[in-house]
Amino acid sequence: MTTTTDARRLLGGAADPKVLRELSGEELDALAQQIREFLIEKVAAVGGHLGPNLGAVELTLALHRIFDSPHDTLLFDIGHQAYVHKLLTGRVEDFDTLRQGDGLSGYLSRAESEHDVIENSHASTALAYADGLAKARQLSGEDDRAVVAVIGDGAMSGGMAWEALNNLGGAPERPVIVVLNDNERSYAPTVGGLADHLQQLRGQSDDSIDWLVKNSSRISAGEGTGGPLPVAHSLFELLGFAYLGPVDGHHRPSLEEALHLARELERPVVVHAVTAKGRGYEPAESEPDDRMHTCGVLDPATGAPAKKASAPGWTSVFADEMCALGDEHRELVALTAAMPGPTGLAKFGERFPERFFDVGIAEQHAVTSAAGLATGGLHPVVGVYATFLGRAFDQVLMDVALHRLPVTFVLDRAGITGPDGPSHHGMWDLTLLGAVPGMHVSAPRDAAQLRELLAEAVAYEDGPTALRFPKASAGADIPALERIGQVDVLHRSSVADILIVAAGPLAAPAIEAAEALQAQGIGVTVADPRWALPILPELTQLAARHHLVVTVEDNIRHGGLGAALTRALADASNATPLRALGLPGRFIPHGNRNDLLSQAGLDAEGITQAILRACAPEPFQPAKER
Ligand SMILES: Cc1ncc(C[n+]2csc(CCOP(=O)(O)OP(=O)(O)O)c2C)c(N)n1
Ligand SMILES: CC(=O)[C@@H](O)[C@H](O)COP(=O)(O)O
Ligand SMILES: [Mg+2]
């Protein structure tokens, strides 16, 4: 068992990674082992990205020994693999708070450390940051400060990475160092031509390093590379990079040699480090699906989950319904952006392998490829996390909706996700999709509705549809008292003063609030529009029969359900006042989903209090005080 004290002792207690350069090889090897033990113990206790970080121990040690952060800049793509970086930059003590409210972020955080740069956990951005930062360094005369971007083989399959490689490789005067952390996986094994190419490279000897070692004296003497590099045998060299690899990503001395050479070359370089996700922890190394890419609370001794999931999550309901619909609709196909497991589509893929496509971490490609599939007469379902759809908004708008193509988007992790923080909350999709002409968006309130609405969506051929649901258990089914058109009435009172329109699973706290208000003599109707956007005429008519309308959505208020219903009421020349409850238009930190919803006033108490405030007469204020 490694205690925080052990790790700090080995780290010399300093927040400055320079202490690493004073450690011997033996001490460094001992430190690597202690870091692994520390990670297993701490991440098993709270959950997190155990697999990726166990695979990045030696790599991160080498990076901090060869480069002088923060004078030199280390960029981590996604940032889920940066726990070791955090330990080496003074955050050992706080590690028990990982991914918890007010605690350490599970990604990089500029507020936490000057060593952290990219906070966005969306993949494939680091090389573009590196391109821009290198240009800034050059223009400000600081080109003695190295720019190093660590990117996984999964993230390297994203379009942005190739846009950046094009720019970086074409600028020999800007020596950006790309460290490709190749563990052959995103969650699942990586797929496609790049994955095949990297496999070839992994099988080749690291002759480029031998050559560079033999020529390093000329290089160090500032003669640059002199003659041509070894015959290009990688895609990267064809794009203008020097290629150093494959390097054993768990042999720190080899890594340090390659990184040192990369720095000496003074030109764009790709260092190809071959690592293993979950390295050094058998339960992760043998985990068949994703090598503990992300894990919940575990028994560290066995790797077994500490607690069983309570009710089935939304994802598993979706997974089962997709398989049922796949039997019924032969034209149904499914696409994922390297997340077959987390989106639940793996099950469909096992059942219908020829109708399932994993396109890599490439949401833009997924959407427009889906447009192609729909053009070919099929009905694609694109399964992505809500937050990642933002990257493919142009493709949704112009490649799908402009052509009124029958593509269904299933947005998992919609709304507040919780521990993954601001770039993972799926809190913009209603706003974005509400702006897409012809797009029909639903937010199922429970598992039964998810099944119903998914069946309606995949049968709809006149344009795109979307369903969204959160990272949570699906909860108990909420029966409708009646259905008016497409609108389900979930709660009603004899005197209908107020109408609460709830999107998705926020119907449950809305009903609780209605019951609390009824006990205070306030009559409330609760309605679930089922198809939330565009606004249904029957919803506008129902609203017009109430004195106050309150919308509740797990999305930002700007441009969401509330904004749309406000416009619909105005268009119908209806002056019924509307109070839109939703998330604030700012980035929301990581924390527990229910705590964050409560802080936003989106639990039963918050909804109740908001309505009481809306009903309370404004205290009279003499004109002079206004
Ligand atoms: C745009 C985007 N899509 C999907 C994800 C979800 N995601 C998080 S980590 C990950 C796999 C990353 O694989 P890789 O870059 O190889 O890093 P590794 O975990 O293997 O170290 C994915 C798909 C994301 N962060 N960003
Ligand atoms: C880093 C990343 O984008 C995902 O691994 C993220 O952690 C989602 O985790 P869940 O699948 O647990 O929501
Ligand atoms: Mg990988």
Note the pLDDT of residue 607: 98
- CA–centroid distance, 80 to ligand 2, in Å, is 9
Q: What is the pTM (predicted TM-score) of this model? A: 0.95
Q: How is residue 313 annotated by DSSP?
A: B
Domains and CATH numbers, the chain: 4-285 (3.40.50.970), 314-468 (3.40.50.970), 482-615 (3.40.50.920)
Q: Which atom of ligand 2 is found nearest the CA of 293? A: 5
The Cα 336–Cα 338 span in angstroms is 6
Tell me the C-alpha to C-alpha distance, in Å, between residue 586 and each of 420, 489, 557, 583. 16, 32, 10, 8
Name the residue with tokens 């680091």: 126
Direct distance between the N- and C-terminal alpha carbons of the chain, in angstroms, rounded to an integer: 64
- CA–centroid distance, 69 to ligand 1, in Å, is 24
Ligand nearest to the CA of 154: 1
Note the pLDDT of residue 226: 46
Neighbours of 220 (CB within 10 A): 11
Give the residue whose CA is nearest to atom 11 of ligand 1.
186
Ligand nearest to the CA of 155: 1
Ligand nearest to the CA of 182: 3
Note the pLDDT of residue 230: 54
Answer whether 49 contacts ligand 1 (Cβ < 6 A): no
What 3 state SS string does 333-344 have? EEEECCCHHHHC
Answer whether 391 contacts ligand 1 (Cβ < 6 A): yes
Note the pLDDT of residue 17: 81
Q: How is residue 408 annotated by DSSP?
A: E
Q: Which residues of the chain have pLDDT under 50?
A: 2, 226
Q: Which atom of ligand 2 is found nearest the CA of 107? A: 1
Note the pLDDT of residue 309: 67
Q: Which of 318, 385, 590 to mutate to test the pocket of ligand 2 (most atoms within 8 A of CB)?
A: 385
Tokens of 576: 């019924």
- CA–centroid distance, 78 to ligand 1, in Å, is 7
Give the residue whose CA is nearest to atom 3 of ligand 2.
121
Three-class DSSP category at 404: coil
Note the pLDDT of residue 307: 83
Strand bridging mode 498-502 / 548-556: parallel
The Cα 238–Cα 207 span in angstroms is 17
Give the residue whose CA is nearest to atom 5 of ligand 2.
294
Name the residue with tokens 């996604």: 78
- CA–centroid distance, 180 to ligand 1, in Å, is 13
Q: Would you call the peptide bond into 505 cis, given omega within 30 degrees of 0 as the criterion?
A: no
Reference 410, options 491, 336, 352, 326; nearest CA is 336
Ligand 2 pocket, residues with Cβ under 6 angstroms: 78, 80, 121, 293-294, 342, 413, 417, 420, 471
- CA–centroid distance, 420 to ligand 2, in Å, is 7
The Cα 226–Cα 119 span in angstroms is 39
For the beta sheet containing 147-152, the strands, ordered from the edge strand earlier in sequence to the opposite edge, are 73-76, 147-152, 177-182, 269-274, 242-248
Ligand nearest to the CA of 419: 2
**Given CA atoms 277, 304, 80, 195 in this order, what sign does their dihedral have?**
positive
Note the pLDDT of residue 233: 80
Question: Which distant-in-sequence residues (6+ apart) come within 8 Å of 260 by Cβ?
Answer: 66
Give the residue whose CA is nearest to atom 12 of ligand 1.
186
Q: Which of 186, 194, 425 to mutate to test the pocket of ligand 1 (most atoms within 8 A of CB)?
A: 186
By annotation, the residues acting in catalysis are 277, 363, 391
Give the residue whose CA is nearest to atom 13 of ligand 1.
186
What residues form the annotated binding site for Mg(2+)? 153, 183
What residues form the annotated binding site for thiamine diphosphate? 80, 121-123, 154-155, 183, 281, 363
Q: How is residue 231 annotated by DSSP?
A: P
Reference 414, options 314, 344, 338; nearest CA is 314
The Cα 34–Cα 26 span in angstroms is 12
Biggest CA–CA distance in the chain, Å, is: 89
Answer whether 183 contacts ligand 1 (Cβ < 6 A): yes
The Cα 356–Cα 380 span in angstroms is 9
Task: Give 38-78 pLDDT, tens digit per residue.
Answer: 999 999 999 999 999 999 999 999 999 999 999 999 999 99
The predicted complex's ipTM stands at 0.99
Give the residue whose CA is nearest to atom 25 of ligand 1.
122
